[in-house]
Amino acid sequence: MNTNQNKTTKVFDLGLIDYKQAWDYQTNLFQSILDVKSQNRSLAENEQQQTKNYLLFCEHPHVFTLGKSGDEKNLLVKKEALYTIGATYYHINRGGDITYHGPGQLVVYPILDLENFFTDIHKYMRLLEESVIQTLAEFNIQAGRINGLTGVWIDFNDESKARKICALGVKTSRWVSLHGLAFNINTQLDYFNHIVPCGIDDKAVTSLEKELGKQQNVDQVKSILKQKLAGLFGMEIIT
C-alpha cells in the first residue's frame, strides 16, 4: 500500500476537442505520472514525490475508435468514405472493440494513479460504471450492468430490450489509468449504424435525450457525474 497517497484530483474541461489532440493531451499527463513513479523507485520513501491525478471532460467531433483487441470488420463504412459522413478513425491502445464519439456525448478520461486509491482494475471499471448509474438515477432512470458486458445499460434485466447508454474502454500501466468512458447525452445515435458497437451486434444504443424525450443540459450532467466520481473514489476535486 502506498503510504504517500494523494487523492487530490485536478479537473480539466477541454470542451469540444479533436480526438487526436485529446489523446495526446491525456498521454502526456499519463506519462508525467509514470515518470514520477519511475523516479520514486530510486528514492527513499520520505523523499518520494506524490503522483498527481486528473479528470478530463470533453466532447469530440465525429470519430470511430478501435481498441487494441478489436476487429476492424466492426467498422461498417470504408475508411476512405469516412469523410462523406464527416468522421475520422483511430486504432488505439485501450481495451475493448470499436466505439463512436461525437458532439453531445460526454467523454471522461480519468488519468489516475490508482495506487492513490486502490489497486484493483475490476473495482475501477465497476466504479466508473457506478458513477454513471448514480448520475442516471438523478434523472429517475434506472440503469445497471449486464453480466459479461462492460458499460451501463437501460432495461438491463431484459436482454431483448437492453440498450447501452455508456461505453467503457481503459488501459492501465503500473496502476496509472488512460482512456475512460463515453456517456450518450444528446448524441446523434444514427452514427452508431456505421459500426457494430463494442463488437455487440444484438443490442441497441440510446442516449439521455432519447430516454427523456428532450435535449439535456450537458453541463448539468457533467456536474453531477463529477460529484459521483469524487464520492465513489474519495477524490478531493480541484479545478
Q: Where are the alpha helices (DSSP H) in 71-120?
A: none
Residue 67 has a pLDDT of 86
**pLDDT tens for each residue of 187-203:** 999 999 998 866 666 67
Give the residue, 204 or 33, on which the prediction is more confident: 33
Q: Is the pLDDT of residue 120 over 50?
A: yes
Report the pLDDT averaged over residues 115-131. Answer: 97
Radius of gyration of the chain measured on its C-alpha atoms:
18
Number of Cβ within 10 Å of residue 61's Cβ equals 14
Q: Which of 55, 189, 198, 221 is catalytic?
A: 198
Full-model pTM: 0.93
As a residue count, the chain comes to 239
Query: Does residue 198 carry a catalytic annotation?
Result: yes
Cβ-contact 168, 176 below 8 angstroms:
no
Identify which of 5, 25, 238, 229 has the alpha carbon closest to the alpha carbon of residue 127: 229
Q: In which band, very low, low, confident or very high, does the pLDDT at 3 lie, cut at 50, 70 and 90?
A: low
Report the pLDDT averaged over residues 218-235. Answer: 98
Question: Percentage of residues in the chain with pLDDT exceeding 90?
Answer: 82
Q: Which residues contact 128 (CB under 8 A, 6 or more apart)?
A: 110, 168, 170, 180, 181, 229
Identify which of 222, 192, 236, 194 has the alpha carbon closest to the alpha carbon of residue 210: 192
Using DSSP's 3-state secondary structure scheme, residue 170 falls into strand
Q: In which band, very low, low, confident or very high, does the pLDDT at 122 lie, cut at 50, 70 and 90?
A: very high
Q: Is the pLDDT of residue 1 over 50?
A: no
CA distance 100 to 193: 10
CA distance 7 to 58: 22
CA distance 167 to 71: 17
Residue 4 has a pLDDT of 74
Number of Cβ within 10 Å of residue 224's Cβ equals 17
Q: Where are the alpha helices (DSSP H) in 163-217?
A: 208-212
Which CATH fold topology does 8-59+99-238 show? BirA Bifunctional Protein; domain 2 (3.30.930)
**pLDDT tens for each residue of 64-111:** 999 888 888 999 999 899 999 999 999 888 877 888 999 999 999 999
Would you kindly state where each structural domain of the chain is located, as residue ranges? 8-59+99-238
